[in-house]
Amino acid sequence: MIKINLLPHREEKRKQRKHDFYSLLVFFAIVGVVLLILVGIYNASQISVQNQRNDVLRAENAKLDMEIKEIANLRDDIERLKARQQAVEDLQGDRNQPVYLLDELVKQTPEGIYLRGLKQDGQRIVLLGYAESNERVSEYLRNLGSRSEWLNKPDLIEIRSAGIGQGRDARKVFDFTINVGIKRPRDQEIAGVAASASASAISAAPVAPGGQVVKP
């Protein structure tokens, strides 16, 4: 017996294709949502890891800042201790300063110069005196500036004509005021080291046949 299918098979196929198409759309939509969720979770985990790293870096930077601050404080303390130590050494060295000063004034005061007073202000002293002539004052300044081991940088503050004595003993002199610096023992040591270094450099320099020192 022959069976004849009278159902609209074309319509059924069309419906089936639509169903399959919508099923694929739903499937890809679900896959897309899942992928978005996974990407979001991955990005969130990466951000969390990076935030943790940033927190660690900030903590380490804070530690370094504290250490740098402590080092700076230690340096300040060391500098203050050095300054105190230098002050103590200067005080110890200055105990004998009056003796050196008076001895040096006796050595460097030429004939024709009469000191009538001196005043000390820190590491400078003011010399008050009389001179027989301007030349004596100039000689005194040269002695104090270049020949003295304990005095340096003399400065003539004032010089004027004056008279001392009365009657037959009256004389015309020059009243002068000189300001001069005092060297400390450590200044002497520094000058000695510099002189030794200069002498060593000169002795180590090559000498030309004519006896001249060849500069490097």
Alpha helices (runs of H) in the chain, residue ranges in sequence order: 9-94, 97-108, 134-142, 185-204
Domain boundary among 95, 130, 153: 95
User: CA-to-CA distance for 167 and 175, rounded, in angstroms?
Assistant: 19
- Is there a single domain that holds both residue 104 and residue 192? yes
Residue 215 lies in a domain: no
Mean of the per-residue pLDDT values of the chain: 79
User: CA-to-CA distance for 48 and 68, rounded, in angstroms?
Assistant: 30
- Is there a single domain that holds both residue 165 and residue 123? yes
The whole-number pLDDT of residue 169 equals 73
Residue 208 lies in a domain: no
Lowest average pLDDT, out of 26-30, 44-48, 61-65, 164-168, goes to: 164-168
Percentage of the chain modeled with pLDDT above 90 = 16
The answer to whether residue 205 scores a pLDDT higher than 80 is no
Against a cut of 0.85, is the pTM above it?
Answer: no
Q: pLDDT tens digits for 168-189? A: 777 888 999 999 988 876 555 5
Domain that holds residue 140: 97-196
Q: Return all residues near 188 (Cβ < 8 A) that are at least 6 apart.
A: 149, 150
- Is there a single domain that holds both residue 45 and residue 113? no
Residue 113 lies in a domain: yes
3 state SS of 79: helix
- Is there a single domain that holds both residue 61 and residue 85? yes
The answer to whether residue 216 scores a pLDDT higher than 80 is no
Q: pLDDT tens digits for 102-140? A: 888 888 888 889 898 888 887 888 999 999 888 999 999
